[in-house]
Amino acid sequence: IGGLILNLMPCVLPVLSIKLLGVVKHGGGEKQAVRLNFITTAAGVLFAFMVLAAALVAIKEAGASIGWGTQFQHPWFIIAMTFVVTLFACNMWGFFEIRLPRWIADLGEHSSHIHGLGGSFLSGAMATLLATPCSAPFLGTAVAFALSRGAADIFAIFAAIGTGLALPYIVVAAAPGLATRLPRPGPWMAKLRLILGFALAATALWLLSVLAAQAGALAAGAIGALMVLTAVALYL
């Protein structure tokens, strides 16, 4: 349940915004393509959680103390994520296009696919990366218990959290008609991209507020100004 609630947290909204656009693009498409796309995204979420669990087990076995969401205690990580989210927003606004290497974007792609499965897998993995700092209110006790136990408990609890976070994707995979019944892609999608771009920009502002609490308002303001300049440069 905690993993499912993470889908509504500001940390994960960037990936959900991008995935929502992906659902809309499947309007009028084939159900099999939708099912494979969303199963791959769910697999990306679960794979990333298993990688995190394995890393934490390895660190614990090495005798070091371990915690959860600690990367958001490092200003440089927050700055990097702010930059990434700003780029996503600019992409939604049409300032530039993100093109993955073809071997990644088209990984496993068939003629019936609307999108490459590689991109879907990576979006699921990124959802996991962004979800970790938001997990404390709902999962703090469970994660703390897992980290105090053995490897089996860590993997089991992380798998449960990952399943909850991936559940919306699994639901669409089980009922692909939720996506294929949507209107076919058209000019109306430009307005949707604009709205989702503002949602991503709001997430960048939230990240700056986290940075301000750690490094001060002056540092957060400087990074915010740099992000605005980045957006202007991409627009020009």
Residue range 141-161: mean pLDDT, rounded: 83
**DSSP string spanning 140-152?**
HHHHHHHHTS-HH
Q: Among 43-52, 62-71, 136-145, which stretch is predicted with the lowest mean pLDDT?
A: 62-71
Query: CA nearest 121: which of 168, 55, 166?
Result: 166
DSSP-H helix ranges across the chain: 2-5, 13-25, 31-61, 75-92, 102-105, 117-131, 136-147, 151-174, 177-180, 188-215, 217-235
- What value does the mean pLDDT of the chain take? 77
Terminal C-alpha separation, the chain:
45
- What pLDDT, on the 0 to 100 scale, is given for residue 104? 47
Q: Is the pLDDT of residue 26 over 60?
A: no
Is it the case that residue 185 has pLDDT exceeding 60? no
In the numeric block, which tokens belong to residue 197? 């771009």
Name the residue among 67, 90, 71 with its Cα closest to residue 79: 71
Q: How confident is the model at residue 60 (pLDDT cuts 50, 70, 90)?
A: confident
Please state the pTM of the whole predicted model.
0.61
pLDDT digits (tens, 9 = 90+) for 67-79: 655 556 678 888 9
Burial of 111 per CB tally in 10 Å (0-12, 13-18, 19+): exposed
- For range 63-92, the mean pLDDT: 76
pLDDT (tens digit, 9 = 90+) per residue, 100-135? 555 544 444 443 344 456 777 887 787 777 776 666
Angstrom distance (rounded) from CA 105 to CA 88: 17
Residue 105: predicted pLDDT: 46
State the average pLDDT over residues 127-148: 70
pLDDT of residue 159 exceeding 50: yes
Q: Which has the higher per-residue pLDDT, 159 or 99?
A: 159
More confidently predicted of 185 and 132: 132
